[in-house]
Structure 1
Amino acid sequence: MKKIPLYSSIAALVISLLALYFSKSSSELVYVDVNKLITGYEKTKIAKAEFDKKANLMKANVDSLVGNWQKELKNYEKERTSLSPKELKLKQELLSNKQQQINGYQEAIQKKIQEEDKKVTQTVINDINDYIKEYGKSHSYKIIFGASGGGNIMYADESTDLTEEILKGLNAEYGKK
């Protein structure tokens, strides 16, 4: 009589271990290298080129204003001895005000460039995330991890890396648009 609970306990343990083994093997865990996806995605390259063009144009505008101000400052330095104290004070105030305006404009442009960069990057990341979500659903993955070099995945077998496969599909889908 005492052997029946022992046998049933052993059988339950074996069945539990088998169920655990089969459930683990059927739900494959995979990952993608997020940095490789971002740099390899064609839309990233195009969006980055467009962003760089805009940013360079804005920076050139600021540089032009700074250059004009510096010319005015040099002219002031040359004329300084021939100006009356009243003219001297007025010219200094004008140059100071112009410098403050340029500094304010420069800060606004830097902020706009940062916001634009953030917006472009977020658009690319959203595209990648949407694609991975659909890819995971269509291939019945329960989880697709994202490795970004920040320590969230310290080791994974290369056979679980979907980066290249995802990147090919992502670029193919972008090419259709």
Structure 2
Amino acid sequence: MNGKIIYSVFGAIAVGAFWWLSTFFTPKTTVAVVDSQKVLEGYQGFKEARDAYEIRIEELTKGFNDRRKIFETKKREHEVLKPERSPEQHAQQEENLSKMQQELIVLGTQLEEQSAKEEEKLLKGVYNKINDFMERYGKEKGYDVILGANGQGNVMYTDHGTDVTDEVLKALNKEYVNGI
């Protein structure tokens, strides 16, 4: 019985010593935190891409808006001229207006799809650039992990010393301006 106690004590001492040595001699993991939303919104490349996207969407919607105005004008005209038209003319104009309305619906759907594609293309390019930069930045600064905080619970707390958002944003924009 005494032998079991002695082995148990030595076992506990060995486990404790192993734990202490492993934590004492294991290198610390360096972690940094970046406010990903702030980086995205402050990144000059995103701002320029967003401006180009808005111009492109404006171009796409111009044709749609012009057609919608024509439709609305023809619809008002139809209502005003309704008493002066024959039933056949009225039916023909109703059919024409219905076709125009269907064309507008199709055009609107195409516009939404094109807008979504343009936005996806914009964001993919920006995210790829930021992610590539973050990888190089992390290696250069010696971080093992960089966590992205977005205010939605991913990172609930960070010491200000680990938040490198402003430093990242400054370096990212410098790289963008210099064309790297």
Tell me the TM-score range normalised by the shorter chain.
Answer: 0.7 to 0.9
Distance 1:136 1:96 in 2: 59
Q: Is the 8 A contact 2:149 2:155 kept in 1?
A: yes
* Percent of matched pairs sharing the same residue: 28
| 1:171 corresponds to which of 163, 166, 173 | 173
| 1:50 corresponds to which of 49, 52, 55 | 52
Aligned to 1:87: 89
- For the pair 1:19 / 2:15, whether they are aligned, the reply is no
Query: How many aligned positions are there?
Result: 175
Judge which range, 79-88 or 5-14, deviates more: 5-14
1:17-75 per-residue CA deviation (whole Å, 9 max, x = no partner) reads: 25314535x32111111001101100011111111111122222211111111111111
- The DSSP-based 3-state class of the residue aligned with 1:144 is strand
- For the pair 1:105 / 2:72, whether they are aligned, the reply is no
Q: Is the 8 A contact 2:67 2:104 kept in 1?
A: yes
5+ long unaligned stretches in structure 1: none
Correspondence 1:138-149 to 2 at 5 A: 138-149=140-151
Distance 1:6 1:77 in 2: 98
Aligned to 2:33: 31
Displacement after TM superposition at 1:121 (Å):
1.5
Distance 1:163 1:22 in 2: 31
Distance 2:7 2:91 in 1: 106
- For the pair 1:128 / 2:130, whether they are aligned, the reply is yes
Distance 2:42 2:114 in 1: 26
Distance 1:122 1:22 in 2: 42
1:74-116 per-residue CA deviation (whole Å, 9 max, x = no partner) reads: 1111221221221111111011001110111012102211221
Correspondence 1:53-92 to 2 at 5 A: 53-92=55-94
TM-score, length-normalised on structure 2?
Answer: 0.86
* Paired amino acid for 2:98: S
TM-score, length-normalised on structure 1?
Answer: 0.88
Q: Which runs of 4+ in 1 moved over 3 A?
A: 2-12
* Paired amino acid for 1:19: S
5+ long unaligned stretches in structure 2: none
